[in-house]
């Protein structure tokens, strides 16, 4: 694994102040694992609180608007996330693509807005089950990358890509090691095609039903540089078990 493994919790629409104790516990333990980069994306309502509650871990948003400000009721811009203390934001999560109709072009604009605001961006891609069954998974993900990768000058140092097969999110199902390896290689090739040599350094995370009992296996796959974790990031206990698995591999 090149660089520190990056383990990111995506809390989705979960979390009130009552969950600050979880994030404090995650932060305290993360300090014991310096070989792992740990981050959490709480709901935007908690960003300020979480910023004050943690010292070690990164914190981020789950989405941002492509514009910096304006008449967009209910939306949150990248500079606003930055102002609230965020280090990064997720963009293009499949729940945004599906439930909010976000296109690749929308996701690209959001990723570019995030980078322009000084945030790191975690750009999510992934095929549906029907697309995989039709043998089109790599083609679909390649197309998503083509359409949604930010186009900025130079290598996108603050970009990570998260491969999240839609059918693996929240289902307890994960692709085979061979399928994850093949997809991450295909994503790497695409990133190099888009960015040139700098594409070799973009971190590629796996997401979709990552748990303590499969984390070590998934994180050992070549070109899996970390994990984007949904359900198992909601308690310090289950999230730290994944961080611990990453730390054990980093020690090897
Ligand atoms: P899950 O979600 O770990 O609950 O499958 C992952 C994600 O949606 O980022």
CA-proximal residue: ligand 1, atom 1 (nearest):
230
Neighbouring CB atoms inside 10 A of 55's CB total: 10
231 ligand 1 Cβ < 6 A: yes
Atom 7 in ligand 1: which residue has the minimum CA distance?
230
Q: What is the mean pLDDT of each run of 10 residues along the chain (252 residues)?
A: 85 97 97 96 98 97 98 98 98 97 98 97 98 98 98 85 97 96 98 94 97 97 97 97 94 71
Atom of ligand 1 nearest to the CA of 171: 5
- Domains in the chain, CATH or no CATH each: 6-251 (3.20.20.70)
Distances, alpha carbon 98 to alpha carbons 19, 106, 210, 218, in Å: 27, 13, 21, 26
DSSP 19: G
Closest ligand 1 atom to residue 169 Cα is 5
From ligand 1's centre to the CA of 107, what distance in Å? 19
Place of tokens 């097969």: 165
Mutate to test the pocket of ligand 1, among 229, 232, 239, 241 (most ligand atoms within 8 A of CB): 229
Atom of ligand 1 nearest to the CA of 231: 4
**Nearest CA among 162, 151, 161, 76 for reference residue 109:** 151
CB of 226 closer than 6 angstroms to any ligand 1 atom = no
* Cα distances (angstroms) measured from residue 145 to each of 110, 128, 239: 14, 15, 28
Q: Best mutation site among 88, 166, 207, 234 for ligand 1, i.e. most ligand atoms within 8 A of its Cβ?
A: 207
d(C-alpha 58, C-alpha 73), whole Å: 27
Beta bridge partners of residue 38, listed in sequence order: 7
Instruction: Output the CA–CA distances (angstroms, integers) from residue 28 to 56, 57, 227, 233, in the order listed.
Output: 8, 9, 20, 15
> What would you report as the CA-atom Rg of the chain, rounded to the nearest whole angstrom?
17
pTM of structure: 0.97
Pocket flag, ligand 1, residue 164 (CB < 6 Å): yes
Q: What is the pLDDT of residue 250?
A: 81
């Amino acid at each position: 694994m090149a660089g520190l493994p990056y383990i990111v919790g995506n809390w989705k629409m979960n979390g009130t102040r009552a969950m600050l104790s979880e994030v404090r516990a995650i932060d305290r333990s993360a300090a014991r694992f310096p070989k792992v980069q740990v981050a959490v994306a709480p709901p935007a309502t908690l960003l300020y609180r979480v910023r004050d509650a943690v010292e070690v871990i990164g914190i981020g948003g789950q989405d941002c608007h492509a514009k910096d400000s304006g008449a967009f009721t209910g939306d949150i811009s990248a500079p606003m996330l930055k102002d609230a203390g965020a280090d990064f934001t997720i963009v293009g999560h499949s729940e945004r693509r599906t439930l909010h109709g976000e296109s690749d072009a929308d996701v690209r604009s959001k990723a570019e807005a995030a980078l322009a605001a000084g945030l790191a961006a975690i750009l999510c891609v992934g095929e549906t089950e029907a697309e995989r069954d039709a043998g089109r998974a790599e083609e679909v993900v390649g197309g998503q990358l083509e359409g949604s990768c930010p186009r900025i000058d130079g290598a996108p140092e603050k970009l990570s890509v998260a491969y999240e097969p839609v059918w693996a999110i929240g289902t307890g199902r994960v692709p085979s090691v061979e399928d994850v390896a093949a997809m991450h290689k295909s994503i790497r090739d695409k990133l190099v095609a888009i960015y040139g040599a700098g594409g070799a350094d973009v971190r590629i995370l796996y997401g979709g039903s990552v748990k303590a009992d499969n984390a070590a296996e998934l994180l050992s796959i070549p070109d899996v540089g970390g994990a984007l974790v949904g359900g198992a990031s909601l308690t310090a206990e289950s999230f730290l078990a994944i961080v611990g698995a990453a730390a054990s591999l980093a020690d090897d």
